[in-house]
Chain A
Amino acid sequence: MSELATDRRTTPNLSAGEGSKKSYWSKLGYGFLYLILSAFAVIQIYPLIWLVFFSLKSNQEVFGMSPFSLPQDPQWGNYVKVWTQGNIGVYFFNSVWMTVLSVFLTVILASFVTFAITRMHWKLSGLVLGLFMVGYMIPLHSTLIPLFNFYNTIGLIDNPLSIILSQTTFNLPLTIMILLGFYKAFPREIEEAAVMDGCSVHRIFFQITLPMTIPVLSTTAIINMIYNWNEFVFVNTFISSDQWKTLTIGINNFVGQYLTDWGAIGATLVISIVPILLTFLFLSNKIVEGMAAGSVKG
């Protein structure tokens, strides 16, 4: 059996030898389809372009002109301001490592749980799954003050651990539920064959299940990454010193008592979207590649 992903050269998403003899009507249909797809694409890419324009505008332009106008006099100063005022470098670094750590913890812990629930038979599995599902329904703001008290008691206020633990835990239910849908659909034959061969459970989990689930792992990693990267409430509540704040707080550095510097906020938003955009593009390829690796073509 495939030890690890080796054969990833198949490119299933290109139209290969399909359109040989298409009728006139089907061509028209495809044209129409592409028209819709492209229109939708414009709608979806537009926010990013808008954001870049936004970050180059002055406050006056942000609120006066049509939101579609180009910045008349690009305010590159917004970026300079963002880099020099406030500790954006520190915030950036904190965002990166806290996000990476939280995503890793969530995905691996959720995989363990999902594996145990779907691949093993035990009495309480339904109850455990239920606990996680209910966990997803709990509104965050209800837990905020008790959580603050808890961290305060154990001395984790103003400690990045409080952020990582909170982000990890609050994303676990969602991640487990997504994984669950996929695990249910995954063929069990391979794992069962491995059991026959006398593989230990750990070996099966790490060497068969995890590699097989790379597409869904990438999917949940992307979702977790976006959530953690944009997470705000925990950092604002549990962190007080500048040294542990993240980019989302950096954005609020430009919201004032009476005056808000929208251009600078735009610039911070643009800066903060670059790393997740790149990571997203990378992970997004993994979804497809992982498929090729996981499929049982032999």
Chain B
Amino acid sequence: MSNKYIITLYTLPALLLLLVLIYVPIALSGYYGLMDWTGIGQMQFIGLENYANLMKDEKFWASAGHSFLLGIFSVLSLLLYLAVSLVLVSKIKGSDFFRKIYLIPMLLSSVAIAQLWLKIFDPSNGMLNKLLEMFGVENTPVWLADPNTALYAIFVPIVWQYAGFYILIYYAALKNVPEEIIEAARIDGATPLQIALKIKLPMISAVFKVTIMLSLVGSLKYFDLIYVMTGGGPNGASEVMASYMYKEAFELNNFGYASAVGFGLLVICLGMTWLTSRLTKSNDDVQY
């Protein structure tokens, strides 16, 4: 199939929206990055100064490190979600019921999730420490209040929040694997585990690669729960790139610099995506 008219017709509307509403703004944002601008009133051209400052900004690199760590945890958690999906898609009783239940948390807005987890992490009244106390732990941690634990504590709700999202995608992808192939394998005497690993997994490798990228990039630019639950604190211990950018722009009146941070975030995302696509390229494009 090759038809210029149809290709244009099919891609142009989406492409136009993308260019006008995402690319033009980000280009403008890159331009603001060349300015000394509080976001209020006049701006002044300062060339690459913001970008140069970004390169040696320890706080930015610390927050980039936190974002990167979140990315690693998120990608690793995909394996768990994949395993759950494999179980759900096998013909066990009640899988339909379990699947629906498992996806419910993803319906909740960040406001609700943040409130729930703040209550769970509450050092005195919270569930987590009550549980620990039941097991006789003394000096229970203060979780979000301690710079040593805050970052890891807040990863838990973030990673959990997306469980439903990925289980949903994997489930749909696994359901997509034609019955005939599985049936044929079963007749040949393959065990359910073999079917899962040797047939189903390769069949959804394209989807899996997409989710790796989604979760990595999604983590690198993650913002919501960090902003609501810790505000990047205590004292920057849970700051990530997006919350750092937000703070510079909306709280510290440093719009020019914040734009540069946003650009830095984009470049890091690009680099990481390129890297992962190289790493996962080995057995590309399993088709049938």
Contact = CB atoms under 8 A, between A and B. Distances in A.
B273 A133 contact: yes
A41 B210 contact: no
A181 B170 CA distance: 11
Nearest to A41: B101
B4 interface: yes
Nearest to B29: A142
Given A47-B108, A67-B126, A146-B29, A219 B1 contact: no
Nearest to B96: A13
Contacts of A33: 87, 92
B78 interface: no
B41 interface: no
A42 to B, nearest CB: 9
Contact of A141 (B115, B214, B246): B246
A28 B163 CA distance: 27
A40 B110 CA distance: 21
Interface in B103-119: 103-113, 115-116, 119
A176 B10 CA distance: 13
A275 B175 CA distance: 26
B10 A113 contact: yes
Interface stretch (A1-9, A48-56, A78-86): A48-56
A204 to B, nearest CB: 8
B58 interface: no
B125 A187 contact: no
B1 A51 contact: no
B151 interface: no
Contacts of B11: 112-113, 116-117, 128
B270 A185 contact: no
B25 A147 contact: yes
A221 to B, nearest CB: 11
A157 interface: no
Contacts of A280: 103, 107
B279 interface: no
B15 A121 contact: no
A216 B172 contact: yes
B72 interface: no
A34 B103 CA distance: 17
Interface stretch (B45-53, B142-150, B199-207, B231-239): B199-207
A67 B127 contact: yes
A30 B92 contact: yes
Interface in A22-71: 30, 33-34, 37, 40-41, 44-45, 47-48, 50-51, 54, 64-68
A15 B120 CA distance: 37
B13 to A, nearest CB: 6
Nearest to A279: B107
Interface in B74-112: 84, 87, 91-96, 98-112
A180 B223 CA distance: 26
A172 B17 contact: yes
Contacts of A287: 168, 171-172, 175
Interface of B: 1-4, 6-7, 9-11, 13-15, 17-26, 28-29, 32, 39, 84, 87, 91-96, 98-113, 115-116, 119-120, 122, 125-127, 130, 163-165, 168-169, 171-173, 175-180, 203-204, 206-211, 213-214, 217, 220-221, 223, 241-242, 245-246, 249-250, 255, 258-259, 262-263, 265-266, 269-270, 273, 285-288
24 contacts: A41-B101, A44-B163, A66-B125, A67-B125, A112-B10, A113-B10, A135-B18, A136-B217, A139-B242, A139-B245, A139-B262, A139-B265, A142-B245, A142-B263, A142-B265, A143-B25, A147-B21, A150-B20, A178-B210, A181-B169, A184-B206, A185-B206, A287-B172, A297-B180
In the A-B complex, the 7 residue pairs with the closest CB atoms: A142-B262, A181-B207, A67-B119, A146-B25, A143-B25, A137-B269, A230-B109
